[in-house]
């Protein structure tokens, strides 16, 4: 009497899963095979699943890579983001369970040279910008639009990755400000829906993941005067002249 072995998916995950951060976008993953007693057949491939815990430069969803060997380099990851990474094995009959996830954070370009000194460098990364964006300029486009342009915060004052910019604007007697936001790569914006022939105070500040830095010096810009405003102004002038004409009193 012979005993037939039933082939199924692996009943345990790959072992000794490790991860080495190579750069701001790459992580090297290594592991050893599923315990032989749990393989339940021939291991055909491995699946590495990685998921960002939090992102600061847009959104990124869960990703998977397949390989037939016991290592892989995850590429194209986001800079300075923590990833939860796990591995599972396949036979021809399906996939086994994932390994317990390990957490690895990609490096930060220009700030982290070696991952082993991360704790020291993070003191620099986790701070608000020390100064405002440079060379803020404004330009009136119409009676309701103003274009705002600026340059980056000085590198020494950035204190980490700039994640976004905030452009605030208000009229002289407004209580509070209104704001437009742009991402880290966009150094201009157009403010729309403004009042005709009105002066606005406009400032810009930068953010890191910790919070905002100081505002730039306020720039004053006045929207244009369009035909409708001229007509209303003309009617008001005529009415005022008629009321003050001594010949009519």
Q: Which residue has the higher pLDDT, 219 or 231?
A: 219
Residue 234 included in any domain = no
Do 152 and 70 belong together in one domain? no
Residue 83 has pLDDT above 80, yes or no: yes
Average pLDDT, the chain: 83
Number of domains in the chain: 2
Domain C-terminal end among 125, 157, 179: 125
pLDDT digits (tens, 9 = 90+) for 48-77: 999 998 654 445 578 899 999 999 999 999
Give strand pairing partners of 102: 85
Do 76 and 149 belong together in one domain? no
Of 21, 31, 130, the C-alpha closest to 79 is 21
Least reliable range by pLDDT among 84-88, 163-167, 173-177:
173-177
Question: Mean pLDDT across the stretch 19-41?
Answer: 93
How far separated are the first and last CA of the chain, in Å rounded? 128
Residues 42, 34: Cα–Cα separation, whole Å: 11
Residue 235 included in any domain = no
Return the pLDDT at 239.
Answer: 42
Do 162 and 110 belong together in one domain? no
Binned at pLDDT 50, 70 and 90, residue 211 comes out as confident
Do 116 and 31 belong together in one domain? yes
pLDDT digits (tens, 9 = 90+) for 89-144: 999 999 999 999 999 999 877 554 455 455 555 544 568 899 999 999 999 999 99
Residue 216 included in any domain = yes
Return the pLDDT at 99.
Answer: 93
Domain C-terminal end among 81, 101, 125: 125
Give strand pairing partners of 51: 84
Question: Mean pLDDT across the stretch 157-168?
Answer: 91
Give strand pairing partners of 103: 84
Residue 236 included in any domain = no
Residue 7 included in any domain = no
Global pTM reads 0.46
By residue range, what is the domain housing residue 94?
Answer: 15-125
Residue 10 included in any domain = no
pLDDT digits (tens, 9 = 90+) for 167-183: 999 998 888 889 999 99
Residue listed under structure tokens 């993070």: 122
Residue 200 has pLDDT above 90, yes or no: yes
Q: Which residue has the higher pLDDT, 45 or 119?
A: 45
Do 167 and 78 belong together in one domain? no
List the CATH number of the domain containing 204.
Answer: 2.60.40.10
Domain C-terminal end among 79, 96, 125: 125
């Amino acid at each position: 009497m012979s005993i037939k072995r039933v082939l199924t998916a692996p009943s345990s995950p790959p072992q000794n899963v490790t991860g080495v951060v190579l750069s701001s976008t790459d992580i090297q993953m290594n592991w050893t095979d599923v315990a032989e007693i749990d393989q339940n057949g021939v291991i055909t491939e491995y699946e590495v699943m990685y998921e960002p815990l939090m992102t600061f430069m847009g959104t990124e969803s869960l990703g998977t890579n397949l390989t037939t060997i016991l290592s892989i380099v995850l590429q194209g990851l986001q800079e300075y983001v923590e990833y939860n990474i796990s591995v599972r094995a396949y036979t021809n009959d399906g996939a086994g369970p994932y390994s317990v996830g390990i957490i690895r954070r990609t490096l930060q370009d220009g700030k982290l040279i070696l991952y082993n000194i991360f704790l020291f460098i993070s003191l620099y990364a986790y701070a608000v910008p020390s100064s405002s964006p440079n060379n803020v300029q404004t330009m009136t486009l119409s009676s309701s639009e103003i274009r705002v342009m600026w340059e980056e915060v000085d590198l020494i004052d950035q204190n980490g990755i700039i994640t976004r910019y905030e452009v605030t604007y208000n009229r002289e007697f407004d209580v509070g400000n209104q704001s437009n936001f742009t991402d880290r790569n966009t150094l201009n914006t157009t403010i729309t829906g403004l009042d005709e022939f009105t002066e606005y105070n406009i400032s810009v500040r930068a953010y890191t993941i910790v919070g905002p830095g100081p505002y730039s010096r306020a720039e004053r810009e006045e929207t244009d005067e369009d035909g409708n405003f001229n007509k209303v102004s003309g009617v008001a002038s005529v009415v005022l002249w008629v009321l003050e004409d001594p010949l009519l009193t």
